[in-house]
Structure 1
Amino acid sequence: MSYLGENIPKLGFGFMRLPMLGEKIDIEQTKEMVDLFMSKGFSYFDSSWAYNGGKSEEAMKAAIVDRYPRDSFQIATKCPVWIVKTKEEAENMIWTSLKRTGAGYIDFYLLHNLGDSRTQSFDDFEMWDYVHELKAKGLVRHIGFSIHDNADALDKILTEHPEMEFVQFQLNYDDWESPTIQARKCYEVALKHHKPIVVMEPVKGGLLANPATSVRKIFEDANPSVSLASWAIRYAASLDNIITVLSGMSTIDQVRDNVSFMEKFKPLDQDELAVIEKARKAISEIPSIPCTACQYCVKGCPQGILIPNVFATYNRKLVYNDLASAKSRYGLETRFNGKASDCVACGNCERVCPQHIGIIENLRTIAEELEK
């Protein structure tokens, strides 16, 4: 059965982590990266109204729109309306994006980062109806949304809004069975609703390109001639119903590597999938907070701390030794919710934790390390 985007090459270019010159995007290097990407037959570019304070969308105009025929590429961008206060501001986001990109129309327009309390903003500002109007006017070609939440939240949104044509969420081999990210469960929900998928974070923000030594050895023993990132991107691209797999490329070398194995893409075979499973098991054996995201602790927390989410961010530091990534993700998770330092040590969480985790002590440690 055919699906939206099945003929789009399975490597997409994420415009969130572009090369920088001080506070400005390095446009000349970005052009070089775009040229290589396009020369190998790839065509999907992803941004957002919010990336780099709008500079990402402006870079799209300079590096892509002003230099290539409009029908030779797809532009995707997003509206994070939960950061504005009025319906008018929310509706104006598309016009800002169109002006910045100069694209004339947006191929894939997404309601940005649904999940938790953020979803309510899209309801309050009637954005579901608004994006339909944009499509009817020809300003956008396809409408969908990105989400950072669990499978139940995704299922609820797709049930309430079957008119959405596609969905974008985090999917990689490490998060496939994650109790917080729930990549496999989200994937199955998308299939149930017959929605094609744009994959984000296939390399988990770069973490899977530089895993622990024990994990690295598994991949290098299997095939020392390919990059670690290639395993992660090919894993996601091998799944059914995928529009494209986004890679947030920051250097020309990253583009060279990605196009080298995706230009003539071959899905992972059974032997390669067995290597992935072995690596996944090795990651799970690295010491971390053993939270299963059952959510029992969240219900009784008087400070509104999403404890499993907070633990998941800290596990990035424990498993991958990447403090910067842990801090960045922690900032996102606690932007609208309680911080680890808000804990009042009431003990409600520890009384109901089936894993008997020392939650209070862990939150104290996380506050010391991630809130500096």
Structure 2
Amino acid sequence: MAYLGENIPKLGFGLMRLPMIGQDIDIEQTKQMVDLFLEKGFTYFDTAYGYNNGKSEAAIKEALVDRYPRDKFQLATKLPAWAGPKTAEEAQNMFWTSLERTGAGYFDFYLLHNLGDNRTQSFYDYNIWGFLAEQKEKGLIKHLGFSFHDKADVLDDLLNRHPDMEFVQLQINYADWESDSVQSRKCYEVARKHNKPVIIMEPVKGGSLASIPDSIAGIFKEANPNTSVASWAVRFAASLDGIIAVLSGMSNLDQMKDNLSYMQDFKPLTDDERKVIAKVQKALEDVPRIPCTNCQYCTKGCPANIAIPNILNALNTYLVYNNLQGARHNYMFATRGSGKASTCYTCGQCEGACPQHIEIMEHLKKAAELIEA
């Protein structure tokens, strides 16, 4: 049975990590990347209202929209109702701003951005669901869905309440497949239960799976010395059923060329390759990390309102993958709307509530020193 996006080539160009020159996007290199991407038959571009403070949407206008016929590509962007607006008018104006900045005329795929936790309520407070449905009726949105970071049961509830959503965007990669906090597999299974096709974000876990420890990367190199470590992660995601596109946040032309080398003539993982990935998954599980299970017991009495499990997860990105940039990015989102690690009062209630007996205060101190900057 055919599904929405079935015929879209499965590599999507994520526009969150575009090449930079200082504080500005490198437009000329971005144009080269866009040209090569389209030349090789790929068509899906993904940005968001807030990427690079709006510079991403402006850049894709210059590099793509102004240079190619509108029917030769699909453009997606997103509305983050939780990110600052104080009124419904301000939140809804994000849509019009994105339309103006991209010059796209309409959006092929439009998303309510980053639903989950306390962020979801903003979309109800500002009537974003109804507002975007109206824009879809007007033809300004071809397909409407949402991106999501939360637990599978929360996703199930959202899709029960909003069956008109046509697709979902989920964080899926082999490292998070059985994660207690991300729940990649469980969320994917919920989406498929509701017959929603999936756009995959973070297939390389913010770059972490391209820089795994050498001892673990060697497992991949032994299996196939001619392919990049990152290619295993992207192909794992692209091998799932019901996928619209797998987004890769490519930062330079070399990354683009590597992705195109194995996705242009994409072949799903073989059984032997799945065994290799399973071996890597086990090796990553054995790397020392903070053993947080995201039970949330530590947060219930925190006087500083610190999102402790999310901060510990961000710190694990650094401890396990040595990915400082990714850890800081995760920390930024982990502390949005809540206390930072440095605001800890060291009252100790969190440690008294933790069933894993984690030295939370010491880890919060480390997070403040390493990734709060």
- TM-score, length-normalised on structure 1? 0.97
- Residue matched to 1:335: 336
Task: Tell me if structure 2 keeps the 8 A contact 1:112–1:145.
Answer: yes
AA matched with 2:259: N
Distance 1:354 1:23 in 2: 44
Residue 154 (structure 1) shift: 1.6
State yes or no: 1:324 paired with 2:325: yes
Distance 1:32 1:194 in 2: 37
- Residue matched to 1:272: 273
- Residue matched to 1:232: 233
- Residue matched to 2:194: 193
State yes or no: 1:161 paired with 2:159: no
Where in structure 2 are there 5+ consecutive unaligned residues?
Answer: none
Residue 345 (structure 1) shift: 2.9
AA matched with 1:55: K
Q: CA RMSD in A?
A: 1.3
Q: Once the two structures are superposed, what CA deviation does each residue of 1:200-257 show, in whole Å capped at 9, x if it has no partner?
A: 0101111111111121111001100001111000000000111100001111111111
Distance 2:152 2:209 in 1: 23
4+ residue runs over 3 A deviation: none
Task: Tell me if structure 1 keeps the 8 A contact 2:207–2:326.
Answer: no
3-state SS in 2 of match to 1:158: helix
1:250-269 → structure 2 map (5 Å cutoff): 250-269=251-270
Task: Tell me if structure 2 keeps the 8 A contact 1:214–1:282.
Answer: no
- Residue matched to 1:58: 58
Residue 176 (structure 1) shift: 0.7
Residue 259 (structure 1) shift: 0.7
| Aligned length in residues | 372
AA matched with 1:296: Y
Distance 2:153 2:308 in 1: 18
- Residue matched to 1:290: 291
Residue 62 (structure 1) shift: 1.4
Which deviates more from structure 2 when the two are superposed, residues 348-357 or residues 266-275?
348-357
AA matched with 1:32: Q
Where in structure 1 are there 5+ consecutive unaligned residues?
Answer: none
Which deviates more from structure 2 when the two are superposed, residues 286-295 or residues 42-51?
286-295
Distance 1:23 1:300 in 2: 40
Distance 1:369 1:264 in 2: 41
- TM-score, length-normalised on structure 2? 0.97
Which deviates more from structure 2 when the two are superposed, residues 270-279 or residues 323-332?
323-332
Q: Once the two structures are superposed, what CA deviation does each residue of 1:22-65 show, in whole Å capped at 9, x if it has no partner?
A: 22211111111111111111000000111112221111111111
1:212-223 → structure 2 map (5 Å cutoff): 212-223=213-224
- Residue matched to 1:18: 18
3-state SS in 2 of match to 1:81: coil
3-state SS in 2 of match to 1:82: coil
3-state SS in 1 of match to 2:257: helix
Percentage of matched positions with identical amino acids: 63
Distance 1:250 1:359 in 2: 35
- Residue matched to 1:33: 33
State yes or no: 1:352 paired with 2:353: yes
Residue 312 (structure 1) shift: 0.5
Q: Once the two structures are superposed, what CA deviation does each residue of 1:84-132 show, in whole Å capped at 9, x if it has no partner?
A: 1111111112221111111111000101111121111100010101111
Task: Tell me if structure 1 keeps the 8 A contact 2:12–2:247.
Answer: yes
